[in-house]
Structure 1
Amino acid sequence: MARVLVFAPAPILTITVEAHRGEPEVHLHVGGQGVWQARMLVALGADVVLVCSVAGEAGTVARHLLADEGFRVVAIEREGVSPAYIHDRRGGERQPIVEAQGEPLSRHELDALYSATLRESADADLVILSGPEGDDMLEADVYRRLASDMRELGRTVLVDLAGDRLEAALEGGVDVLKVSHEELVADGRVADGDDEAQLLAAAREIAAGGVGLVAVTRAAAGSIVVGQEGTWRVVAPELEPVDTRGAGDSYTAGLASVLAAGGSHADAVRTGAAAGAVNATRRGLGTGDAEAIRAIAARVELQALDDEAAR
């Protein structure tokens, strides 16, 4: 079984109020990019360890909830406040009530988190570096150091980052990158996120820096992939979405599940696209039925760009 390490600096405690038979129903879960990725990886059959930090009362609750997720958790306990939110969905749309980004990690807390990541990477086939909820949770340079050290230890590094964290990770060295078209616009790499030619040029530029596979997701428009095994426009079945949040993280998990097991880029991309599509049909973020994902993956078309033969 392929083993994946997910670096998730500070998971977020999510409290959502929904309507059930005319009464309010309260749901407590743990979320955030790394948790959603780990959840989908477990659904796809990977052996997952999540390295994170938890703080305060919200962190205590989050740690207990993480214990039931099906992956192993290595949590650094720290002082302060963990990220958390309370959303009201009784009207159909999410209405934020409270959103707390949490407090930054101290130097010693970061040292403990970094050491735990190094230790747990010893038998990982692939390492995902995911971002925290709060912008100030930890310095971007941590991602440069981690990417560099993971590759020095012979681990495949997949990042799902943007902004300064992405730039730092690329400097350290990355094998696989998943990024959205909105993030490329925000980072100034493209001017028009709907312009396929611009997105393709940006992906090629990143790949030329030594990244073996670059996947640019475009929501319903499908993704564009540039890699050592091919350059494709990815077309997946258009499933009716219920909640699109977590779809990008599910895509990342699909990529990781195949690549960690030694699979091809084509199979990884098909699985990623299918995992994102299936996640969007559900209310649970980072969730999906493995058999449904495999069935959809078989319907994902890779349209070769640059006049290559379609696969």
Structure 2
Amino acid sequence: MIIIPGSINADLLFPVQTLPAPGETVLCPSYTMAPGGKGANQAAAAAKAGAEVRFIGHVGDDAYGPVVRQLLADAGVEVAGLAVSPRPTAVAVIGVDAHGENQIIVASGANLDTHAGQVPDELLGPGTTLLCQNEIRTEESFRALLRGRARRARTILNLAPATSLPGEVLDALDLLVVNELEARTAARAGAGDGDARALAERLVAGRDLAVVVTLGAKGAIALQAGKLLKVGALPVDPVDTTGAGDAFTGVLAACLDRGLGLELALHRAAVGAALACERLGAQSAQPTLAEIEARAGQLPMPESLG
């Protein structure tokens, strides 16, 4: 079972020809409302990839709250831990250009009320995977991970958005999932302090930790117990890259929770992330387990680089 204390948003998607420069106004014919939030996106991705998932969070007592709650439940996620806040449901405004690139502004709203204490002790323990991100208050994500480690749950952090990572939290992780910017921030490294592999090595030094660094269109690497794996990216014609990172993390967590090894989990996560780019939206674009398996043969298995 995967437990996710995290963010849940109403995403307002604006398809534009080009993203606006500072001070520029661009027009588009319409917009779409879709469910989002890194926590909810990863929960939906994990559930669609075959995991049992329970989500912990807050929505507002407004028009968006019941909608995003129901859509997350429709994705197969248990939402009994989704409370109602006096703050408004979080909203993200997302511009997506003709190449699938995006710009995002998030109003956190009810996500600011989500806290580690909402996760019952009885849900944490061996056999449970605790997956956190950084769109609720960072200190609450960190508190949840420390509680999870103390109760011997598998602990996974997707350090997004990027922020500094205390040593005690890094020590409490089984798996850290980051892009190159987030890896650099977590490693307290400068622009000239090495590539993704060097950053991963810096993060795992002296720790029993696996680090996955996503590389966008170049795929991803994983470093665990001195073994480096590299997987490519499934070639797709991208429509919207908004939910790709969350699809990757959610599928990765689902595979590990189902007992698959890191090599196979990394491969399926790469396939899932690519497929999420083929449709508009975040949760609405997440692929099912059947869709991932149907396309898995199109991507070579990860290469071991020693």
**What TM-score bracket applies, with the shorter chain setting the length?**
0.7 to 0.9
* Residue number among 236, 250, 253 corresponding to 2:250 in the alignment: 253
Q: 1:253 to 1:95 in 2, by over 3 A?
A: closer
* Residue number among 34, 39, 47 corresponding to 1:34 in the alignment: 39
Q: TM-score, normalised by structure 1?
A: 0.79
Whole-Å Cα distance in 1 between the matches of residues 268 and 13 of structure 2?
Answer: 29
State yes or no: 1:174 paired with 2:207.
no
State whether residues 126 and 260 of structure 1, in contact with CA within 8 Å, keep that contact through their aligned partners in structure 2: yes
Q: 1:90 to 1:176 in 2, by over 3 A?
A: closer
> Over residues 81-125 of structure 1, what are the superposed CA-to-partner deviations in whole Å (9 max), with x where a residue is unaligned?
33113456698878989853326746xx63xx5233534436862
Whole-Å Cα distance in 1 between the matches of residues 226 and 186 of structure 2?
Answer: 26
State yes or no: 1:51 paired with 2:49.
no
Q: 1:278 to 1:91 in 2, by over 3 A?
A: closer
RMSD (Å), alpha carbons? 3.2
Q: Which runs of 5+ in 2 are unaligned?
A: 17-27
* Aligned amino acid, residue 130 of structure 2: V
Q: How does 1:1-311 map to 2 (within 5 A)?
A: 3-8=1-6, 10-16=7-13, 27-57=32-62, 58-73=64-79, 74-87=81-94, 99-102=106-109, 105=112, 110=115, 114-121=117-124, 125-132=128-135, 137-138=136-137, 140-162=138-160, 163-164=162-163, 166-167=165-166, 170-171=169-170, 173-186=172-185, 189-192=188-191, 197-228=194-225, 230-286=227-283, 287-298=286-297, 299-305=299-305, 308=306
State whether residues 144 and 168 of structure 1, in contact with CA within 8 Å, keep that contact through their aligned partners in structure 2: no
Whole-Å Cα distance in 2 between the matches of residues 94 and 223 of structure 1?
Answer: 19
Q: 1:296 to 1:208 in 2, by over 3 A?
A: farther
The higher relative CO (CA closer than 8 Å, separation ≥ 6) is in 2
Q: 1:83 to 1:165 in 2, by over 3 A?
A: farther
> Over residues 49-73 of structure 1, what are the superposed CA-to-partner deviations in whole Å (9 max), with x where a residue is unaligned?
1111122414344334433332111
* Aligned amino acid, residue 157 of structure 2: V
Q: 1:209 to 1:145 in 2, by over 3 A?
A: farther
Structure 1 window deviating more from structure 2 (267-276 vs 27-36): it is 27-36
Whole-Å Cα distance in 1 between the matches of residues 185 and 224 of structure 2?
Answer: 23
Percent identical among aligned pairs is: 24
> Over residues 16-72 of structure 1, what are the superposed CA-to-partner deviations in whole Å (9 max), with x where a residue is unaligned?
3569xxx96653322111111111112211111111112241434433443333211
Whole-Å Cα distance in 1 between the matches of residues 102 and 295 of structure 2?
Answer: 32
> Over residues 169-190 of structure 1, what are the superposed CA-to-partner deviations in whole Å (9 max), with x where a residue is unaligned?
7346000111001223455644
Shift of 1:215: 0.5
